[in-house]
Amino acid sequence: MNIVYCRWYSSRLTLGELVVSDSIWISGGTRTGKTTRLVTLFRQWVEAGWGRSRQLSSPIVRKKRRDRYQTPALLILAANADNRRELTDRLTTTLQGRYPVRCQTPLGFFQDEVILFWPLLIQRLNLRAQFPLRLRPETEQDLAMQLWRPQLESGLIQIPGTNESVRVRRLLDLLQLAALSGTRIEEIPRILEQGVVELEATPDQWELIGKLLLDWRRWCLDKGLLTYSLICDLYWREMLADSTYQQYLTQRYRAILADDVDEYPAIARDLFDLLLDDQGIVGAFTYNPQGQVRLGLNADPDYLSGLSSRCQVESLPPHPNDSLADGLSPMAVDLLNDPMVLSDLPESLQSLQTTSRAQLLRLTAEVIVEAVKSGQVEPGDIAIIAPGLDAIARYTLTDILTKQGIPIEPLNEQRPLISSPLIQALLTLLTLVYPGLGRLVDREAIAQMLVVLSRPPEPVATAEADSPLPNPHIDPVRAGLLADYCYSPDPESPRLLPVEAFARWDRLGHRATTAYTQIQQWLEGQREQQQQRLIPSCVVILDRAIQKFLWNGSNLPYDQISALRELMETAQHYWEVDGRLRKIPANTTDEEIARGGTPPQATISQFIQLLRRGTVTANSFPVRRLSATANSAVTLATIFQYRAARGYHRWHFWLDAGSHLWSQGGAATLFAAPLFLKDWFGQPWTEADKIKADEERLQRILQDLLGRVRDRLYLCHSDLSVNGTEQTGPLLTLVHSSIELTAQSVSH
């Protein structure tokens, strides 16, 4: 271990060879023990008494808190929510629960601080005295689209995007990039004018973008609404500059432990610098040069690396010993830089090559099935990683492996909520309860709703966690007949008629007739209560429908429970925001989005259309299932998801190895993101700069992923992509240099 002493302070507390008053910078490659070293420092600092807060200046506070453990005096941060949970578990275990561990993400910390010190911000910005309400991203986009609609329809906004929703999202991303990089909103037009070369926009058009963002910021503050970008802007721009808040920080915290700071935004370093400037506060930071997963997505790793000059630097090995990176990584990087290099690649690197992608998916699944059935590897030791997972690949691999008795688990799957039949059925049900929503429903949606809502409950005692649901009482054929003859379409009041409206209703059967009658009568009852104003919001209708038709003592699969929970969370949040906007009188500048005079069905219509645009994904809390199958199944993930989750497996299958998306890391960089990095010097971001950044990112991806596989790596390549075009990605050199595994060898 190489330790370089770069800075010394006076007053030190020595623990063996550890000097507590010196900050520590732990740098190393993937899986080389950085977090383990951080956990060790945590235990040593707490046992040395650095877990207690210093006495606060208020005599009342000193009297109440003297000689006691106060709120945790260690600021503990992790890169994302999954890493936060894992780090919390490790820190809690190392001291056997003797110290209260509160680990946060940087964005979570900023949010808590802004809400805690909201009265201070009210005073500084002269805001209306009301408790802040945080907007979810989908609600933020919906409200911003309504506020900016006149400018969007004018065509003056020069932002790339295939539709209005994409352009609005990119405008909001600019606000987030500026806030997390410590850039004033007023400077955004100048930055875009200097750095963006692919758009031919006039200075007035860039200024219009800045005006829209300032209008959005002003509108949110006036309504007491907070977005992630606004939270970060307020924290960096207002709170860190306030002497009262600075005094609070230095009195509360005595040490910082930050894991994977290469994933942190630039304003996190501003916070760290402020704390480290106090002589009594030290820090411990881990940094992975091969990481930087969120570069281009609000992270600024180079700026954070400047903290190393204030610390003792501990350099860990660049590669772990129990991975393919130790011997394969240098050769892989050499082949990328110079395809003419002759390298003798090891047998642990093999390739699967086919002509079409359909053949590749089947061959990949067959190799996995053969390896598992022959006992070479367990399903939980296999990971399939791709730059992007389309529905065809996901379905094909899942179908083949599941039929062979091999479980497969998507990692943090982010599918639109509206793709779930349960969600579609519940939204259709809303159109039959509230008036004026008839244009949002058709006969096909009615038939689907009847099928979904007529499933009989499955007893919990006999159902497995992921067992298929029993057959519905109303099959698709009968549902189609009922939709044709018993559904009365109407723009204002669509409804289901009694089953006798179908002349041959006796041919439906007892089960289908009974199930339909229950649905029809339940809807009539809810409609009557709604007309009598006995239902406060549609959230109540959704909850009643779930309890009546979907739950009802049954055991739903995990993915369906996750979708239903996300629907309820989204609906509750949407109506909470709607209630906030209704309490505020409209004015001449924002009449289009002040909902004080709009009827409830208008809000419901907007909510249904929001979900149908596919903006919301099923990512409710908890995001991880608690069953044992999660650790005994084949992992299916994108590059970004797998690296962010810090995965590790014995075998890797890199799908679509010939795709050019490998250079992008499986995640699209936000528009104009390089212009908001601290090392950008005002020069235009050219195509050459983009190519260089992609090459550097690809090298980091290779080194990082090779450090996360232990025994074997398969490069899965098809000559043609899913849309039939030839694949000529940057990994083709590795594919052609590796040992090819043919379909005949797999079958034998």
Looking only at the bridges linking them, the beta strands covering 2-4 and 312-315 are: antiparallel
Per the DSSP assignment, residues forming a β-bridge with 240 are none
The pLDDT of residue 7 is 34
Nearest to 110 by CA among 240, 302, 241: 240
Average pLDDT over the chain, rounded to whole?
Answer: 86
Q: Is the pLDDT of residue 57 over 60?
A: no
Average pLDDT over residues 228-240: 95
Element at 635 (helix H, strand E): strand 634-638
Contacts of 733 (CB under 8 A, 6+ apart): 335, 336, 339
Residues 639, 665 contacting (CB under 8 angstroms): yes
Q: Which is more confidently placed, 47 or 489?
A: 489
Question: What distance in Å separates the CA atoms of residue 116 and residue 130, rounded to the nearest whole number?
Answer: 13
Evaluate whether 216 touches 144 at the Cβ level (below 8 Å). Answer: yes
- The distance in angstroms from the start CA to the end CA of the chain is 48
CA–CA dist 158, 155 (Å, integer): 8
- Give the tens place of pLDDT for each residue, 337-363: 777 766 678 889 999 999 999 999 999
The pLDDT value given to residue 600: 72
Task: Cite the DSSP H helix spans in 161-314.
Answer: 164-181, 188-195, 203-223, 228-234, 243-252, 266-276, 301-305
CA atoms within 13 A on the CB side of 562: 24
Q: How many other C-beta atoms lie within 10 A of the C-beta of residue 688?
A: 8
> Any idea which of 66-75, 187-196, 515-524 has the lowest mean pLDDT?
66-75
User: What's the confidence (pLDDT) of residue 723?
Assistant: 83
- What's residue 630's pLDDT? 52
Q: Residue 711 belongs to what H/E stretch?
A: strand 709-718
Tell me which of 224 and 2 has the higher pLDDT. 224
At residue 746 the predicted structure's pLDDT band, cuts being 50, 70 and 90, is: low
How far apart CA 538 and CA 430 sit, in angstroms, is 7
Inter-residue contact 488 to 497 (CB < 8 Å): yes
DSSP state of 536: -
Could you tell me if 189 and 203 are in contact, meaning their C-beta atoms sit under 8 angstroms apart?
A: yes
Q: Tell me, what's the pLDDT at 554?
A: 63
Instruction: Please give the torsion angle defined by the CA atoms of residues 383, 385, 390 and 391, in that order, rounded to the nearest 10 degrees.
Output: 0
Rounded CA separation 485/546 (Å): 26
Query: What's the rounded Cα separation, in Å, for the pair 433 and 415?
Result: 28
Confidence of residue 586 (pLDDT cuts 50, 70, 90): very low
Q: Pairing state of beta strands 487-488 and 495-496?
A: antiparallel
Q: Write the CB contacts of 639 (distance below 8 Å, at least 6 apart in sequence).
A: 385, 386, 387, 662, 665, 666, 667, 701, 705
3-state helix, strand, coil in the chain (%, to 5): 50, 10, 40
Please give the structure tokens belonging to residue 742: 């043919």
Give the helix/strand (H/E) hosting 518. Answer: helix 510-531
Place of tokens 């699209």: 668
CB 347 within 8 A of CB 327: no
Burial status of residue 713 (CB atoms within 10 A of its CB: 0-12, 13-18, 19 or more): buried
Q: Rounded mean pLDDT of 19-34?
A: 85
Q: Render pLDDT for 616-631 as a digit per residue (tens, 0 to 9).
A: 766 655 445 544 445 6
Q: How far apart, in Å, are the Cα atoms of 310 and each of 283, 313, 640? A: 10, 9, 31
| C-alpha dihedral, 595 to 601 to 602 to 604, nearest 10° | 100
Question: How do 14-15 and 18-19 pair as beta strands?
Answer: antiparallel
Provide the 3-class DSSP secondary structure of residue 105: coil
Residue 713 — very low, low, confident or very high, per pLDDT cuts 50/70/90? very high
